[in-house]
Copies of this chain bind each other. A is one copy, B any other.
Amino acid sequence: MSQPAITVAELCDRIRVQPPATIAGVAIAGVTTLELVGENEASFVLKPRYLKVAAKSKAAVVLVPEGMKTDDPRALPVPDVWMAVLALLEHFHPAPRSSGTVHDSAVVDASARIGANVEIGPCAVIGKDARIGDNTIVDAHAVIERNVSIGADCQILANAVVRHGTRMGDRVIVHAGAVIGDDGFKYELAGGRLRKVPQVGIVVIEDDVEIGANTTIDRAGFHETRIGARSKIDNLVHIAHNVVVGSDSIIVAQVGVAGSTKIGRGVMIGGQTGIKDNITIGDGSKIGARSGISSSVKPGSEMMGYPAMPMPDYLRSLKALKRLPAVMEEVLPLVREMKRQREESDEDGDW
Protein backbone atom coordinates (compact mmCIF):
# COMPACT_ATOMS: atom_id res chain seq x y z
CA MET A 1 0.00 0.00 0.00
CA SER A 2 3.05 2.25 0.05
CA GLN A 3 3.00 2.77 -3.73
CA PRO A 4 2.78 6.39 -4.95
CA ALA A 5 -0.39 7.75 -6.54
CA ILE A 6 -0.78 7.57 -10.30
CA THR A 7 -2.58 10.12 -12.49
CA VAL A 8 -5.36 9.23 -14.91
CA ALA A 9 -2.99 10.24 -17.72
CA GLU A 10 -0.36 7.78 -16.47
CA LEU A 11 -2.90 5.00 -16.18
CA CYS A 12 -4.20 5.70 -19.67
CA ASP A 13 -0.69 5.60 -20.98
CA ARG A 14 -0.20 2.12 -19.51
CA ILE A 15 -3.37 0.74 -21.04
CA ARG A 16 -2.94 2.71 -24.30
CA VAL A 17 -6.09 4.78 -24.04
CA GLN A 18 -6.56 8.51 -24.76
CA PRO A 19 -7.22 10.21 -21.40
CA PRO A 20 -10.22 12.59 -21.23
CA ALA A 21 -8.76 16.07 -20.78
CA THR A 22 -11.18 16.88 -17.94
CA ILE A 23 -9.74 14.27 -15.58
CA ALA A 24 -6.29 13.55 -17.04
CA GLY A 25 -4.58 15.21 -14.09
CA VAL A 26 -6.62 13.51 -11.35
CA ALA A 27 -4.44 11.49 -8.97
CA ILE A 28 -5.46 7.94 -8.04
CA ALA A 29 -4.16 6.65 -4.71
CA GLY A 30 -5.74 3.17 -4.84
CA VAL A 31 -8.37 0.98 -6.47
CA THR A 32 -11.21 -0.91 -4.86
CA THR A 33 -14.91 -1.71 -5.06
CA LEU A 34 -17.66 0.92 -5.10
CA GLU A 35 -18.64 -0.18 -1.63
CA LEU A 36 -15.23 0.56 -0.18
CA VAL A 37 -13.86 3.29 -2.40
CA GLY A 38 -12.41 6.38 -0.67
CA GLU A 39 -11.95 9.97 -1.82
CA ASN A 40 -8.69 9.61 -3.69
CA GLU A 41 -9.30 6.18 -5.11
CA ALA A 42 -10.57 4.70 -8.34
CA SER A 43 -13.37 2.21 -8.65
CA PHE A 44 -15.13 0.52 -11.57
CA VAL A 45 -18.54 -0.27 -13.04
CA LEU A 46 -19.20 -3.27 -15.29
CA LYS A 47 -22.99 -3.04 -15.63
CA PRO A 48 -25.18 0.07 -16.04
CA ARG A 49 -27.21 -0.71 -12.93
CA TYR A 50 -24.20 0.11 -10.75
CA LEU A 51 -23.85 3.66 -12.17
CA LYS A 52 -26.20 4.90 -9.45
CA VAL A 53 -24.00 3.45 -6.75
CA ALA A 54 -20.99 4.98 -8.46
CA ALA A 55 -22.68 8.38 -8.53
CA LYS A 56 -23.12 8.30 -4.76
CA SER A 57 -19.62 6.97 -4.09
CA LYS A 58 -16.61 9.03 -3.07
CA ALA A 59 -14.53 7.72 -5.98
CA ALA A 60 -12.13 10.14 -7.64
CA VAL A 61 -12.35 8.14 -10.88
CA VAL A 62 -14.84 5.53 -12.06
CA LEU A 63 -13.71 3.16 -14.81
CA VAL A 64 -16.62 2.38 -17.14
CA PRO A 65 -16.86 0.35 -20.34
CA GLU A 66 -16.55 2.47 -23.47
CA GLY A 67 -20.02 3.23 -24.78
CA MET A 68 -21.83 2.97 -21.46
CA LYS A 69 -23.90 6.14 -21.11
CA THR A 70 -23.15 8.24 -18.05
CA ASP A 71 -22.81 11.92 -17.24
CA ASP A 72 -20.68 11.33 -14.17
CA PRO A 73 -17.73 13.72 -14.64
CA ARG A 74 -15.47 11.20 -12.88
CA ALA A 75 -16.17 8.48 -15.44
CA LEU A 76 -13.15 7.17 -17.35
CA PRO A 77 -14.37 5.16 -20.36
CA VAL A 78 -12.01 2.32 -21.32
CA PRO A 79 -12.31 -0.48 -23.88
CA ASP A 80 -11.52 -3.19 -21.32
CA VAL A 81 -12.40 -2.35 -17.71
CA TRP A 82 -10.57 -5.35 -16.22
CA MET A 83 -7.36 -4.44 -18.08
CA ALA A 84 -7.51 -1.02 -16.44
CA VAL A 85 -8.33 -2.45 -13.00
CA LEU A 86 -5.51 -4.98 -13.32
CA ALA A 87 -3.11 -2.18 -14.31
CA LEU A 88 -4.06 -0.26 -11.17
CA LEU A 89 -3.85 -3.37 -8.98
CA GLU A 90 -0.43 -4.18 -10.43
CA HIS A 91 0.64 -0.61 -9.65
CA PHE A 92 -0.61 -0.56 -6.05
CA HIS A 93 -0.07 -4.23 -5.21
CA PRO A 94 2.77 -5.44 -7.40
CA ALA A 95 3.01 -9.24 -7.68
CA PRO A 96 5.62 -10.78 -5.41
CA ARG A 97 9.06 -10.54 -6.98
CA SER A 98 12.00 -12.70 -6.08
CA SER A 99 14.48 -11.14 -3.67
CA GLY A 100 17.12 -13.30 -5.31
CA THR A 101 18.30 -14.54 -1.94
CA VAL A 102 18.57 -17.99 -0.41
CA HIS A 103 17.78 -18.00 3.29
CA ASP A 104 20.49 -19.34 5.59
CA SER A 105 18.13 -21.93 7.00
CA ALA A 106 17.15 -23.32 3.58
CA VAL A 107 18.51 -26.77 2.77
CA VAL A 108 19.57 -26.84 -0.87
CA ASP A 109 21.24 -29.98 -2.17
CA ALA A 110 24.59 -29.30 -3.78
CA SER A 111 23.47 -31.04 -6.98
CA ALA A 112 20.41 -28.82 -7.43
CA ARG A 113 20.58 -26.37 -10.33
CA ILE A 114 19.23 -23.03 -9.16
CA GLY A 115 18.54 -20.36 -11.82
CA ALA A 116 19.31 -16.65 -11.71
CA ASN A 117 17.55 -14.43 -9.19
CA VAL A 118 15.81 -17.28 -7.36
CA GLU A 119 14.41 -16.70 -3.86
CA ILE A 120 14.47 -19.61 -1.44
CA GLY A 121 12.76 -18.95 1.87
CA PRO A 122 13.45 -20.02 5.44
CA CYS A 123 13.73 -23.80 5.92
CA ALA A 124 12.74 -24.53 2.32
CA VAL A 125 14.22 -27.81 1.10
CA ILE A 126 15.49 -28.39 -2.44
CA GLY A 127 16.40 -32.01 -3.19
CA LYS A 128 19.00 -33.79 -5.26
CA ASP A 129 19.17 -32.87 -8.95
CA ALA A 130 16.19 -30.52 -8.67
CA ARG A 131 16.12 -27.59 -11.10
CA ILE A 132 14.61 -24.20 -10.28
CA GLY A 133 14.14 -21.66 -13.09
CA ASP A 134 15.05 -17.98 -13.06
CA ASN A 135 13.13 -15.58 -10.81
CA THR A 136 11.19 -18.36 -9.15
CA ILE A 137 10.23 -17.97 -5.48
CA VAL A 138 10.24 -21.01 -3.20
CA ASP A 139 8.65 -19.83 0.04
CA ALA A 140 9.30 -20.82 3.64
CA HIS A 141 9.06 -24.55 4.36
CA ALA A 142 8.24 -25.59 0.81
CA VAL A 143 9.74 -28.98 0.00
CA ILE A 144 10.98 -29.60 -3.54
CA GLU A 145 12.04 -33.24 -3.75
CA ARG A 146 14.71 -34.85 -5.92
CA ASN A 147 14.57 -34.60 -9.71
CA VAL A 148 11.83 -31.99 -9.67
CA SER A 149 12.03 -29.45 -12.46
CA ILE A 150 10.39 -26.05 -11.93
CA GLY A 151 10.38 -23.37 -14.62
CA ALA A 152 10.96 -19.62 -14.48
CA ASP A 153 8.86 -17.03 -12.64
CA CYS A 154 7.04 -19.61 -10.54
CA GLN A 155 5.85 -19.23 -6.94
CA ILE A 156 5.86 -22.23 -4.65
CA LEU A 157 4.23 -21.01 -1.46
CA ALA A 158 4.78 -21.91 2.16
CA ASN A 159 4.55 -25.58 3.15
CA ALA A 160 3.77 -26.80 -0.37
CA VAL A 161 5.28 -30.20 -1.20
CA VAL A 162 6.43 -31.02 -4.73
CA ARG A 163 7.34 -34.69 -4.78
CA HIS A 164 10.15 -36.27 -6.76
CA GLY A 165 10.18 -36.13 -10.52
CA THR A 166 7.41 -33.53 -10.93
CA ARG A 167 7.92 -31.25 -13.96
CA MET A 168 6.52 -27.74 -13.91
CA GLY A 169 6.49 -25.05 -16.60
CA ASP A 170 6.87 -21.29 -16.22
CA ARG A 171 4.76 -18.87 -14.19
CA VAL A 172 3.13 -21.67 -12.20
CA ILE A 173 1.75 -20.78 -8.75
CA VAL A 174 1.45 -23.56 -6.16
CA HIS A 175 -0.37 -22.31 -3.08
CA ALA A 176 0.36 -23.09 0.54
CA GLY A 177 0.08 -26.69 1.65
CA ALA A 178 -0.62 -28.13 -1.81
CA VAL A 179 0.88 -31.58 -2.42
CA ILE A 180 1.95 -32.31 -5.99
CA GLY A 181 3.14 -35.74 -7.05
CA ASP A 182 2.32 -37.90 -4.07
CA ASP A 183 1.33 -41.53 -4.74
CA GLY A 184 -1.85 -42.50 -6.56
CA PHE A 185 -4.29 -44.73 -4.69
CA LYS A 186 -3.84 -48.15 -6.25
CA TYR A 187 -3.95 -51.59 -4.70
CA GLU A 188 -4.29 -54.96 -6.37
CA LEU A 189 -4.89 -58.44 -5.09
CA ALA A 190 -1.64 -60.33 -5.50
CA GLY A 191 -0.61 -63.46 -3.68
CA GLY A 192 -3.98 -63.45 -1.93
CA ARG A 193 -3.81 -60.04 -0.38
CA LEU A 194 -4.25 -56.40 -1.36
CA ARG A 195 -0.87 -54.87 -2.17
CA LYS A 196 0.16 -51.32 -2.95
CA VAL A 197 1.07 -50.86 -6.61
CA PRO A 198 4.09 -48.56 -6.70
CA GLN A 199 3.25 -45.34 -8.48
CA VAL A 200 6.20 -44.73 -10.77
CA GLY A 201 4.83 -42.04 -13.06
CA ILE A 202 5.06 -38.30 -12.54
CA VAL A 203 3.02 -35.09 -12.53
CA VAL A 204 3.46 -32.52 -15.29
CA ILE A 205 2.18 -28.98 -14.71
CA GLU A 206 2.21 -26.79 -17.81
CA ASP A 207 2.80 -23.03 -18.00
CA ASP A 208 0.63 -20.50 -16.15
CA VAL A 209 -1.22 -23.05 -14.05
CA GLU A 210 -2.37 -22.07 -10.56
CA ILE A 211 -2.97 -24.71 -7.89
CA GLY A 212 -4.91 -23.91 -4.71
CA ALA A 213 -4.06 -24.29 -1.05
CA ASN A 214 -4.05 -27.84 0.34
CA THR A 215 -4.99 -29.30 -3.05
CA THR A 216 -3.52 -32.73 -3.90
CA ILE A 217 -2.46 -33.88 -7.37
CA ASP A 218 -1.28 -37.49 -7.45
CA ARG A 219 1.53 -38.85 -9.59
CA ALA A 220 0.64 -41.32 -12.35
CA GLY A 221 0.82 -45.07 -11.98
CA PHE A 222 3.17 -45.47 -14.94
CA HIS A 223 3.18 -42.35 -17.07
CA GLU A 224 1.98 -38.88 -16.12
CA THR A 225 -0.79 -36.86 -14.53
CA ARG A 226 -0.98 -33.59 -16.48
CA ILE A 227 -2.49 -30.17 -15.86
CA GLY A 228 -2.76 -28.16 -19.08
CA ALA A 229 -1.52 -24.63 -19.64
CA ARG A 230 -3.42 -21.79 -17.99
CA SER A 231 -5.74 -24.12 -16.09
CA LYS A 232 -6.70 -22.94 -12.61
CA ILE A 233 -7.40 -25.26 -9.70
CA ASP A 234 -8.91 -23.99 -6.47
CA ASN A 235 -8.32 -25.13 -2.85
CA LEU A 236 -8.77 -28.66 -1.44
CA VAL A 237 -9.23 -30.22 -4.88
CA HIS A 238 -8.21 -33.85 -5.41
CA ILE A 239 -6.79 -34.89 -8.79
CA ALA A 240 -6.09 -38.62 -8.91
CA HIS A 241 -3.36 -40.48 -10.79
CA ASN A 242 -3.23 -40.42 -14.60
CA VAL A 243 -5.78 -37.64 -14.88
CA VAL A 244 -5.21 -35.23 -17.75
CA VAL A 245 -6.69 -31.73 -17.51
CA GLY A 246 -6.63 -29.78 -20.77
CA SER A 247 -5.61 -26.16 -21.09
CA ASP A 248 -7.68 -23.18 -19.90
CA SER A 249 -9.90 -25.22 -17.59
CA ILE A 250 -11.26 -24.06 -14.23
CA ILE A 251 -11.75 -26.44 -11.33
CA VAL A 252 -13.44 -24.94 -8.28
CA ALA A 253 -12.80 -25.85 -4.63
CA GLN A 254 -13.24 -29.36 -3.21
CA VAL A 255 -13.78 -31.05 -6.58
CA GLY A 256 -12.52 -34.63 -6.88
CA VAL A 257 -11.43 -36.18 -10.18
CA ALA A 258 -10.89 -39.94 -10.07
CA GLY A 259 -8.13 -41.87 -11.80
CA SER A 260 -7.31 -41.75 -15.52
CA THR A 261 -10.14 -39.38 -16.38
CA LYS A 262 -9.58 -36.83 -19.12
CA ILE A 263 -10.87 -33.29 -18.66
CA GLY A 264 -10.89 -31.33 -21.92
CA ARG A 265 -9.85 -27.78 -22.70
CA GLY A 266 -11.82 -24.82 -21.47
CA VAL A 267 -13.88 -26.94 -19.10
CA MET A 268 -15.47 -25.40 -15.99
CA ILE A 269 -16.19 -27.63 -13.03
CA GLY A 270 -18.24 -26.23 -10.13
CA GLY A 271 -17.26 -26.71 -6.50
CA GLN A 272 -17.61 -30.05 -4.67
CA THR A 273 -18.29 -31.94 -7.89
CA GLY A 274 -17.06 -35.53 -8.17
CA ILE A 275 -15.96 -37.04 -11.48
CA LYS A 276 -15.66 -40.80 -11.98
CA ASP A 277 -12.53 -42.56 -13.08
CA ASN A 278 -11.75 -43.43 -16.69
CA ILE A 279 -14.20 -41.07 -18.38
CA THR A 280 -13.85 -38.00 -20.60
CA ILE A 281 -15.27 -34.53 -20.11
CA GLY A 282 -15.41 -32.93 -23.55
CA ASP A 283 -13.83 -29.57 -24.37
CA GLY A 284 -15.75 -26.51 -23.29
CA SER A 285 -18.13 -28.40 -21.01
CA LYS A 286 -19.64 -26.77 -17.94
CA ILE A 287 -20.38 -28.91 -14.91
CA GLY A 288 -22.58 -27.38 -12.20
CA ALA A 289 -21.53 -27.28 -8.55
CA ARG A 290 -21.97 -30.43 -6.45
CA SER A 291 -22.58 -32.63 -9.48
CA GLY A 292 -21.54 -36.26 -9.76
CA ILE A 293 -20.39 -37.19 -13.24
CA SER A 294 -20.37 -40.93 -13.77
CA SER A 295 -20.10 -41.20 -17.54
CA SER A 296 -18.34 -39.30 -20.30
CA VAL A 297 -19.86 -36.06 -21.55
CA LYS A 298 -19.57 -34.62 -25.05
CA PRO A 299 -17.77 -31.37 -25.84
CA GLY A 300 -19.83 -28.31 -25.01
CA SER A 301 -22.13 -30.12 -22.58
CA GLU A 302 -23.74 -28.37 -19.63
CA MET A 303 -24.41 -30.93 -16.95
CA MET A 304 -25.70 -30.83 -13.41
CA GLY A 305 -26.91 -33.09 -10.60
CA TYR A 306 -26.08 -36.56 -9.43
CA PRO A 307 -26.48 -38.51 -11.54
CA ALA A 308 -25.73 -35.61 -13.81
CA MET A 309 -28.15 -34.65 -16.59
CA PRO A 310 -28.05 -32.00 -19.28
CA MET A 311 -28.95 -28.71 -17.61
CA PRO A 312 -32.52 -28.39 -19.04
CA ASP A 313 -33.36 -31.98 -18.02
CA TYR A 314 -31.92 -31.30 -14.60
CA LEU A 315 -34.07 -28.23 -14.15
CA ARG A 316 -37.21 -30.11 -15.34
CA SER A 317 -36.34 -32.95 -13.03
CA LEU A 318 -35.90 -30.61 -10.08
CA LYS A 319 -39.22 -28.96 -10.77
CA ALA A 320 -40.94 -32.34 -11.02
CA LEU A 321 -39.30 -33.47 -7.83
CA LYS A 322 -40.52 -30.43 -5.94
CA ARG A 323 -44.09 -31.08 -7.11
CA LEU A 324 -43.88 -34.78 -6.43
CA PRO A 325 -45.38 -35.01 -2.91
CA ALA A 326 -48.36 -32.84 -3.91
CA VAL A 327 -48.89 -34.69 -7.20
CA MET A 328 -48.80 -38.04 -5.44
CA GLU A 329 -51.40 -36.82 -2.98
CA GLU A 330 -53.57 -35.69 -5.86
CA VAL A 331 -53.17 -38.67 -8.15
CA LEU A 332 -53.04 -41.65 -5.87
CA PRO A 333 -56.47 -41.48 -4.17
CA LEU A 334 -58.19 -40.99 -7.54
CA VAL A 335 -56.28 -43.78 -9.22
CA ARG A 336 -56.99 -46.09 -6.34
CA GLU A 337 -60.65 -45.35 -6.33
CA MET A 338 -60.84 -46.01 -10.06
CA LYS A 339 -59.01 -49.26 -9.54
CA ARG A 340 -61.50 -50.21 -6.86
CA GLN A 341 -64.50 -49.35 -9.06
CA ARG A 342 -62.98 -51.23 -11.95
CA GLU A 343 -62.40 -54.31 -9.78
CA GLU A 344 -65.99 -54.07 -8.57
CA SER A 345 -67.31 -53.87 -12.11
CA ASP A 346 -65.07 -56.80 -13.07
CA GLU A 347 -66.60 -58.72 -10.22
CA ASP A 348 -70.02 -57.63 -11.47
CA GLY A 349 -69.05 -59.09 -14.82
CA ASP A 350 -68.20 -62.39 -13.18
CA TRP A 351 -71.69 -62.79 -11.87
- A positions within 8 Å CB-CB of B: 32-33, 35-36, 80, 82-83, 85-86, 89-90, 92-93, 95, 103, 105, 107, 121-123, 125, 139-141, 143, 145, 157-159, 161, 163, 173, 175-177, 179, 182-183, 185, 187-191, 193-198, 200, 210, 212-214, 216, 218, 221-223, 230, 232, 234-236, 238, 240, 248, 250, 252-254, 256, 258, 271-272, 274, 276, 289-290, 292, 294, 306-307, 309, 313, 316-325, 327-328, 330-332, 334-335, 338-339, 342
Contact = CB atoms under 8 A, between A and B. Distances in A.
A160 to B, nearest CB: 8
A130 to B, nearest CB: 12
B317 A290 contact: no
A234 B185 contact: yes
B182 A179 contact: no
Given A33-B223, A35-B223, A179-B214, 15 more contacts: A32-B223, A86-B197, A107-B123, A140-B143, A159-B159, A179-B235, A182-B235, A185-B232, A214-B236, A256-B272, A258-B289, A289-B294, A307-B318, A316-B325, A327-B332
A338 B189 CA distance: 56
A61 to B, nearest CB: 16
A253 B256 contact: yes
A274 B250 CA distance: 18
Contacts of A230: 193-194
Count the copies.
3
13 contacts: A32-B223, A35-B223, A82-B189, A107-B123, A121-B125, A177-B214, A218-B235, A240-B253, A254-B254, A254-B256, A309-B322, A334-B342, A338-B338
B254 A238 contact: yes
Contacts of A294: 289
Given A212-B216, A335-B331, A248 B105 contact: no
A36 B200 CA distance: 13
A324 B315 CA distance: 12
Which 10 A-B residue pairs are closest in the complex by CB-CB distance? Answer: A82-B190, A107-B122, A179-B213, A161-B176, A320-B325, A216-B235, A143-B158, A182-B213, A176-B179, A82-B188
